[in-house]
């Protein structure tokens, strides 16, 4: 577990939060975010879909993105987040959010910052590389993993980021995506929709982020992305 990985409460204010599921490629962001959206009935956004075409082409060709490449994309992700926080609509969006400065952009104005909650899916390089090697439906080649890891600035305690260990015990299998989603729901004190599906489309409802206390897990498999 990286520094700042204690299970302390993550404040999200009294209004519905937006969760940013963050981490390097291969950590399981898309799978876990989809599970959370299905169980909570919240809007779901895929940060990778918001990349401009030139970014996608650059990564697909094996070239890492620079800060200059990422800023316009981060602003687009931040706009998605701001639309939800301003409207009081809960949502979940994936974004690598590798650096402190990137996360600050995504938090937005100070009035909305306490409603943006980052969930960092952490795993070691070997496990990430193995996951990326098995993917066939993503533009990010496995060769770019090291560039992402070198750019990653681990969350610090003052950022109030919820850190979830995605790897299993040494020599054992990775933790299942549904177990990770259940940990997020438990530790943030979120309430699943009645009759929600594991990976279903968002259903209308009034999920609430209650008091943020530490708690626990569940089941299901998936191909983490």
Q: What CATH number did the domain enclosing 80 receive?
A: 3.40.50.300
Domain for residue 193, yes or no? Answer: no
Q: Quote the CA–CA distance of 151 and 189 in Å, as a whole number.
A: 31
Tell me the pLDDT tens digit for each residue of 133-154: 665 555 555 567 888 888 999 9
Tell me the pLDDT tens digit for each residue of 161-184: 999 998 888 777 888 999 999 999
Domain for residue 150, yes or no? Answer: yes
Tell me the pLDDT tens digit for each residue of 204-222: 333 333 233 223 333 333 3
Domain for residue 214, yes or no? Answer: no
Residue 224 has pLDDT above 50, yes or no: no
Tell me the pLDDT band of 64, cut-offs 50, 70 and 90: confident
Domain for residue 125, yes or no? Answer: yes
DSSP reduced 3-state for 3 = coil
Signed CA dihedral, 55, 59, 60, 62: sign only: positive
Domain for residue 202, yes or no? Answer: no
Q: For the chain, percent helix, then strand, then coil, each to nearest 5?
A: 40, 10, 50
To which residue do tokens 């800060």 refer? Answer: 67
Tell me the pLDDT band of 52, cut-offs 50, 70 and 90: very high
CB distance 54 to 85 below 8 Å: no
Q: Give the residue numbers spanning the domain of 81.
A: 18-188
Domain for residue 196, yes or no? Answer: no
Domain for residue 87, yes or no? Answer: yes
**Number of independent structural domains in the chain:** 1
Q: pLDDT higher for 32 or 4?
A: 32
Domain for residue 204, yes or no? Answer: no
């Amino acid at each position: 577990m990286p520094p700042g990985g204690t299970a302390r409460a993550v404040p999200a204010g009294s209004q519905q939060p937006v969760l940013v599921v963050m981490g390097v490629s291969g950590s399981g962001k898309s799978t876990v975010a989809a599970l959370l959206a299905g169980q909570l009935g919240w809007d779901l956004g895929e940060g990778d879909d918001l990349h401009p075409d030139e970014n996608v082409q650059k990564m697909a060709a094996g070239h890492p993105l620079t800060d200059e490449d990422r800023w316009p994309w981060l602003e687009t992700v931040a706009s998605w987040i701001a639309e939800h926080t301003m409207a009081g609509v809960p949502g979940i969006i994936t974004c690598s959010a590798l650096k402190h400065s990137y996360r600050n952009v995504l938090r937005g104005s100070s009035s909305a910052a306490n409603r943006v909650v980052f969930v960092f899916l952490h795993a070691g390089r070997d496990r990430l590389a193995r996951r990326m090697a098995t993917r066939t439906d993503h533009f990010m080649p496995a060769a770019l993993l090291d560039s992402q890891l070198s750019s990653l600035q681990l969350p610090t305690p003052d950022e109030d980021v919820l850190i979830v260990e995605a790897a299993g015990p040494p020599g054992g299998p990775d933790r299942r995506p549904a177990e990770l989603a259940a940990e997020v729901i438990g530790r943030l004190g979120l309430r699943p929709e009645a009759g929600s599906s594991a990976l279903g489309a968002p259903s209308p409802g009034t999920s609430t982020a209650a008091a943020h206390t530490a708690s626990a897990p569940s089941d299901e498999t998936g191909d983490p992305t």
